[in-house]
Amino acid sequence: MKRTAIIFLILSGSFSSCYYDVEEDLYPGNGACDTSSVTYSGTVLPILQSNGCLSCHSGGAPSGNISLEGYNNVKNAALNGKLYGTISYAAGYSPMPQGGNKMSACNINRIKAWIDAGTPDN
């Protein structure tokens, strides 16, 4: 009995000993989000394109009568609060993309940084 208890303690100690995981491996995407050099053409436009925003919000009859085609339209949506309100799922705004997954927190933060910088055309 004593021998079984010792073996049990040794085995249980080996399973519960040091445990180390790299946070980046466990939670990808939780790393730093660079919002320091956000530009319209290099950051905001590609985010809108990759998230399918332009597939509904462009052309002759854009969804919700909101066009995101071209800098001026995106700027207007940003300045009136609709762009950030919809992508951040803020109260009082229709969450976008409609029927899709919420944009990543990093991409939302990048768009917010561009808006906070005054929506420069860069």
Residue 100 to residue 97: CA distance in whole angstroms: 5
- Better pLDDT: 30 or 121: 121
Check residue 100 and give its pLDDT.
86
Query: Could you read off the pLDDT of 60-116 as tens digits, one per residue?
Result: 999 999 999 999 999 999 999 999 999 999 999 999 988 889 999 999 999 999 999
Query: Could you read off the pLDDT of 22-39 as tens digits, one per residue?
Result: 444 445 555 689 999 999
Check residue 113 and give its pLDDT.
97
Q: pTM of the prediction?
A: 0.72
Check residue 21 and give its pLDDT.
44
Confidence of residue 51 (pLDDT cuts 50, 70, 90): very high
